[in-house]
Every structure is written in C-alpha cells, then in structure tokens.
Amino acid sequence: MKRLWCVLLPILALVPGAVLAETPPALWPAPVVTRLDNGLVVAVFHNPRLPVVQVQLAVPAGLAAEDSTQLGASALAASLLRAGTSSRTSAEFQRDLDRIAGVFATNVSREMALASSGFLASDFEAGLELFSDAVINPVFPDEEFEVARRSAARQLGVSRSNLTTIADERVWMAAFAPHPYARAVGGTLGGLLTMSRSQLQTFHRDHWRPDRATLVIAGDVTPERALAGAREWFGRWTGTSDPLPAPPVDSPRRGRVVLVDLPGTERAEIRLARIGPGRESDASAAWSVLAQVLNDSGRLPHGARASWSSLPGAGLFVLAAGAPADSAAELAKALVAAWSRVASRPPSPAEAAAAAEVQARTLPFSLETLGGLSTAWQAGRVAGLADDHLVRAADRVRRGAEAAAIESAARAFAAAPVIVVAGPAERMRDALATLGEVELQPLDESVVPPPAEPPPSPEQLARGRELVEAAVQAHGGAAKLDALKAYLFGGEMVIHNPQQEISGLFEQLRVEPYRLSFLTKILELSTRQVLDGDRAWAVTGSDPPQYMDADSAGVVGLRAVFESDLLHALRFAREPGAQAVWRGTEQTGARPADLVEFRTPAGARVRLVLDGASRRVLALDTAPSPQGVWHDRRWFSDHRLVSGIWFPFREERRVDGTKVSTFRMRTVVVNPPVDEKLFRKPGDKR
C-alpha cells in the first residue's frame, strides 16, 4: 500500500485544475421522469460532465418471466436483439452501430432484462433510433438463433465445470424452488436444446412490452431533447406484458442438507442461506448491514463470506465458503454455528453503525458510471421504490443499522438455514448427516425438480401399439423382419468434429444373435471391431495387425451397438413388454410426425419418430434426460427397398443438436452367406 501511495501522490499533485474542472464530481439528483401514453416510464439523468449518453431499457423479461418450458429464453432473447430486426440484418445493425462507434449490450437477471447502448451525445438521435430498433423489432433469424442457442449450451457446459458456480446456482434453487427465482441464469441444457425460434419470438412478444418497462437516458443530453427522442422512437411501441409471479414463500428445504454430487472433485463448496425481505422493504437494508458486519467483524470461519441479494418480493442471505472435501463437514458445522450466533449475539449498535457507514460511503462508487446509475435506479423502480429513491439511498442504508431493524433481522437467524454442499458425495455424506437430513442431488440440468410424467392413458397405449404395427408394415412387414437373420451393409462415413470433418469407409455385418463385424477405414487406418456373443475383440492395421480383446464394458458397448439399428428398434417396439406409448406429434419438415416411446428389453427408453403419411421411421431418439429431453437423435432418410425390407440408406446422428456423424449406405445385402472366419480371432482355440 505504501508503494502505491508513493506512485499516486506525485500524480495527484500534478493534476491541473483544468482537467478536474472538466470532470466535476457526479451528482445523483432525482431524474426527470415521464410516462409515455403506452406506459413506458422514461427517466432522464442530465449529466453533462462527459459528452456521452447511455440509454438503458429495463423490462420484466428476466428469469422470473420464463415459462417452465422455456428455461433459458430470457438470456437467449436478450442476446439476439442485435441479430437482426425487421429493417436491418445483423450485419447492417453492426455497421450502423460501428458508424457511431456505439456499444450495445444486454444483461439478464432473475427480475429483469436490460438492454443498453452508449454513444457520443452528438449521435444521440441516431443511437436512440438504432437502440429502439433492436429492442422493439428483433426478428431472431434462424441462423443466428441456432448459433446463439449452441453457444449458450456450450457456455452452460463450461459453467458446469465450476464448483463455485454450481454451488451458487444450487443454493438459489434450494432456497426458492418451486418459485422462478430458483432458476439459473442461462437456463438449462434441456430448455435450450428444445427451444424453438417461435418460442423465443413469443417470449419477446409477451415480455418486451412498454407498459412495465423503464427507459433511462443518462448523460450529456437535456431532458427536453431526451424526451423528444423517446417519444419519437418509443412512442409507437405497443402492447402489454404478462404479470410476474407472486413473491416466493420460505423454503421447505430449511434444516436439510442438499448435497450436490460431483464425483471425483477434491474440493467442496458450502452455502447456507435463507430468504429475507424484498428490496421494496426498508427491512432489506438491515440484512445488508448484517452481511457487512459478518464480513468485517471476524465472526465467520476463515475464508467465509456473507452476502445479501435483494430482489422484488424477496432477498437471499448467503454464507459461502470452500474447503477440501474431507474438511467440508467440519466447515459446514462452523458455518452453522456462526449462523446461530447471529441470532443469539446480534451485532452491537456500534458494529451495525460502522458497517452501515461503510456501505453508505461506498454506495456512490456504484453510481459513478452512467450504466451503474441507470441500473441502480431501475432496480429500485422495478421493486416499486419512488422515482427519487437514489437520493435517499444512503439514508436508507443507515436506517438499516438502527437497533430495532438489526434485532428483527438477526432473529430470523434462529431458524435453521438451507444448507447446500457441492462436492464428492461419497466422501462427505455420512459426516454431513449430523447437520440434518441429507438430500442427494446429481449434477443434472434440473433447476426445479421435473414434474412426474403422468401414466399413459389407454388411448395413448392403443395409439402407440397401432403406430408401431403401422411402422413395421411400412418397413416390409413382420414376416420379412422376422425372417431377417443377417444383413451386410457398407458405404461412406463422415465424422463431424468441431475443427474438421473426417471421411472414411465402413462395412457392417450383423448376424443374429449378437454377432457383429464393424469395419472402418479412416485416414489409411483400418479397424475392425468384432462381437461374438459374449466376447469381443478388435484388430487394427495390417502390417502387422494388432489384436486387442475387449473388456466387459467393451462387450456391453458392442452389444448395445448391435441392438441400436432401426430393425432391432422395430422388433423391440412390438414386444409385449415394450409398452409403446404415443407421445404426440412433432413438426418434422412439411408435416407432423408421430412420436412413439417404448422400452427395450434392457429397460432403456427409445422413441420412434414416424412419418405422418408413410409411417416409416424418420428418426430414432435415445438417451433421454429425466426432464424429457432426448439428447441423441439419428435421422434416417433415402429409404430403399431391399429384399422386401425398406432400409434407410442415409443416417445422420446428432447429439444435443450437433451433427456428429453421417453414414451413407452404398450396398445392403439381406441374409448374405456368413464367413465364420470373420468372427474368429487368430490364435483363438474356441
């Protein structure tokens, strides 16, 4: 610190009055507020110290506005505002933004979505027109939608690898579920992968509306000029937005330990939490002061932090800490003890006053930038605070330190918190059980537990059986399929990697029961995998060939491959125990396709996608999540008749929407002569 001052003091001494005179200290007066005829509230903070303007729109289109079938829609919709409008392509929007050297950004929280733009004050009208076009008229083009959806899914995957992020998200879930505040920013993989462009358009139509939105215009623009611009570019905006859900109630998980299992991790993250008053309540300030006291007073275990997040209707108080997995239970106990002491030994008036003073004095730092000022004002406005709430913000913080307020907040800590621990469950479970009933959660995509699927109706079962029979008939009939004892097929294959595509050749011979020879030639490398009942082996190269026996997992894998073809799927679907169920329709190409789900003899869930007219199988879905998201889909096309059976000559596999492989058949031979030598490993005496 001493060295820093050695640098700073000479600099400050050299600052001439002229520089500071041009950038006077910021002031936060109440804004000039006007409500347009369409309900849009426009607030103008006139601040001429720099020749720039920032405009920021807040709409009730955050996580709380999402439908449970659209998880991730709020962030995706916001990110695509600049991807094209009814009058500009994405490139044209960027070009026009570049011409004024403007910036455009969006941000989504649980309570609201924000879009903002900054530019020179001299470009105010041009910038506001561009901004209004993005937020009012986005079209969510197909291509950009797909790119953004995949990017969001990838981002979600990255965040899944971060222990701190997982713990932070899960504590909100544990505290607030089933209220929408439980949702994770960015949504869920399932929500993103099943979301359609039209759902996004609907989300924008229902929530990006003027009646409950606020537009802040801050910077070097007079209220008159700002309001004229707002009327010009936002006055014709119409519609009303859907109401937000009711405030949440206290969590049913209090007193329980939610253990998020992350096998293989060495560390654990621990969170203790409880719901508190909403931002609109004066009591909220006391909770914020409590967090400050805990952080400043040494009342918490080493490395632990307290935080208070306030939203409209409710807030969340969290104690957070991390530790090696083997120490997690001990640390959790120490945190619980610190939690209880808040109630039994509340902060003294002096401690509370000092903490409040720190918050009151640092408050201006968050309001120094036009963006910070806009966000703080809009956050208060969304919670129902008065237009001049920022003027009194510091006083409000200081009132939070008053004895009655602090004592009232501290009493809430007498009740047990929600406890969330993320880490390797096996190593922590028993020790954590001393803190309360342990509720084990896998690291899955669920933010709110999935609804139990209702049992299929007799009509769904009857329709499912009927459609399976129709599909079998469409592929040649039961007699032909049952007579198929072996078939040989081959052609070209392409593996689609993110970096490059790899092409090769393949040939498969399938012989009932469970005999498979799968030959691939990729980049001069030839590999043949062989399954022969309950054993398997592979041979690679030819000079000399390298043989390798498969372990039990390899055998299971090849048996699964053997059963995974379309013809086995049709056979399995017909079996009495398959419980084929009609699951509605899906728009596939020009017409709806029927979805029929069944279980294989091994108990796996598989779904057929049947052409609405021909009843041929268009796709096969596997690997469903508990939420009903099917991760793995193989598309079949180019059906051709071979020996009375309709085979697909093209198969494209997609995992979570991303194309991973394509197989193009050149030959299919039904019941060919089988060369037994193919299944015999050289040197094998069996």
Site for another protein in 361-380 (CB under 8 A): 365, 368-370
> What is the phi-psi region of residue 419: left when phi exceeds 0, alpha when psi lies from -120 to 50, beta otherwise?
beta
For residue 432 the two structure tokens come to 């954590």
- Total residues contacting another protein by CB under 8 A comes to 31
- Indicate which single residue of 1, 3, 16, 589 sits in contact with another protein (rule: CB under 8 A): 16
Stretch that binds another protein, among 44-52, 65-73, 577-585, 622-630 (CB under 8 A): 44-52
Question: HSE on the CB side for 628, CA within 13 Å?
Answer: 13
Report the nearest approach of another protein to the CB of residue 11 (Å).
5
> 279 and 310 in contact (C-beta within 8 Å)?
yes
Beta strands in 600-644 (DSSP E): 605-610, 617-624, 630-642
Residue 96 makes CB contacts below 8 A (sequence gap 6+) with: 88, 126, 130
Total residues found in the chain within this entry: 686
- Indicate which single residue of 15, 350, 523, 590 sits in contact with another protein (rule: CB under 8 A): 15
Stretch that binds another protein, among 5-13, 306-314, 401-409, 502-510 (CB under 8 A): 5-13
Report the nearest approach of another protein to the CB of residue 14 (Å).
5
The torsion angles phi and psi of 29, rounded to 5 degrees, stand at -75, 170
Report the nearest approach of another protein to the CB of residue 129 (Å).
17
Site for another protein in 613-632 (CB under 8 A): none
- What's the CA gap between 225 and 217, in Å, rounded? 10
Report the nearest approach of another protein to the CB of residue 21 (Å).
10
- What's the CA gap between 603 and 595, in Å, rounded? 18
Lay out the site mask for another protein across 385-424 (x = CB under 8 A, - = otherwise).
Answer: ----------------------------------------
Exposure string for 321-335, b = 16+ CB within 10 A, e = fewer: bbbebeebbebbbbb
Stretch that binds another protein, among 49-57, 180-188, 607-615, 643-651 (CB under 8 A): 49-57
Report the nearest approach of another protein to the CB of residue 102 (Å).
7
Report the nearest approach of another protein to the CB of residue 141 (Å).
17
Nearer to another protein, 82 or 633 (CB): 82
Sheet holding 113-120, edge to edge: 32-35, 41-46, 214-219, 52-59, 113-120, 103-108
Report the nearest approach of another protein to the CB of residue 480 (Å).
48
Site for another protein in 212-251 (CB under 8 A): none
Nearer to another protein, 344 or 499 (CB): 499
Nearer to another protein, 17 or 576 (CB): 17
Q: Does 98 bind another protein (CB under 8 A)?
A: yes
What letter represents residue 119's amino acid? F
- Indicate which single residue of 68, 94, 307, 643 sits in contact with another protein (rule: CB under 8 A): 94
> 483 and 512 in contact (C-beta within 8 Å)?
no
Report the nearest approach of another protein to the CB of residue 310 (Å).
23
Q: Does 452 bind another protein (CB under 8 A)?
A: no
Site for another protein in 321-350 (CB under 8 A): none
Nearer to another protein, 14 or 350 (CB): 14
- What's the CA gap between 166 and 268, in Å, rounded? 11
> 124 and 229 in contact (C-beta within 8 Å)?
yes
| Number of helices and strands in the chain (H, E) | 21, 25
Q: Does 50 bind another protein (CB under 8 A)?
A: yes
> 450 and 71 in contact (C-beta within 8 Å)?
no
Q: Is 352 helix (H, G, I), strand (E, B) or coil?
A: helix
What letter represents residue 460's amino acid? Q
The CA-to-CA distance between both ends of the chain, in Å, stands at: 78
Q: Which residues pair with 607 in a beta bridge?
A: 597, 621
Q: Does 23 bind another protein (CB under 8 A)?
A: yes
Lay out the site mask for another protein across 113-152 (x = CB under 8 A, - = otherwise).
Answer: -----xxx--x-----------------------------
Nearer to another protein, 14 or 246 (CB): 14
**Pick from 319, 280, 288, 275: nearest CA to 400:** 288
Q: Does 22 bind another protein (CB under 8 A)?
A: yes
Report the nearest approach of another protein to the CB of residue 374 (Å).
12
Q: Does 430 bind another protein (CB under 8 A)?
A: no
Report the nearest approach of another protein to the CB of residue 147 (Å).
16
Stretch that binds another protein, among 99-107, 340-348, 411-419, 429-437 (CB under 8 A): 99-107
- What's the CA gap between 266 and 449, in Å, rounded? 27
Report the nearest approach of another protein to the CB of residue 19 (Å).
5
> 564 and 576 in contact (C-beta within 8 Å)?
no
Question: HSE on the CB side for 341, CA within 13 Å?
Answer: 15
Nearer to another protein, 22 or 459 (CB): 22
Report the nearest approach of another protein to the CB of residue 125 (Å).
15
**Pick from 309, 279, 282: nearest CA to 396:** 282
Nearer to another protein, 100 or 604 (CB): 100
What letter represents residue 120's amino acid? L
List residues near another protein by CB under 8 A.
Answer: 7-8, 10-11, 14-16, 18-19, 22-23, 50-52, 91, 94-95, 98-103, 118-120, 123, 365, 368-370
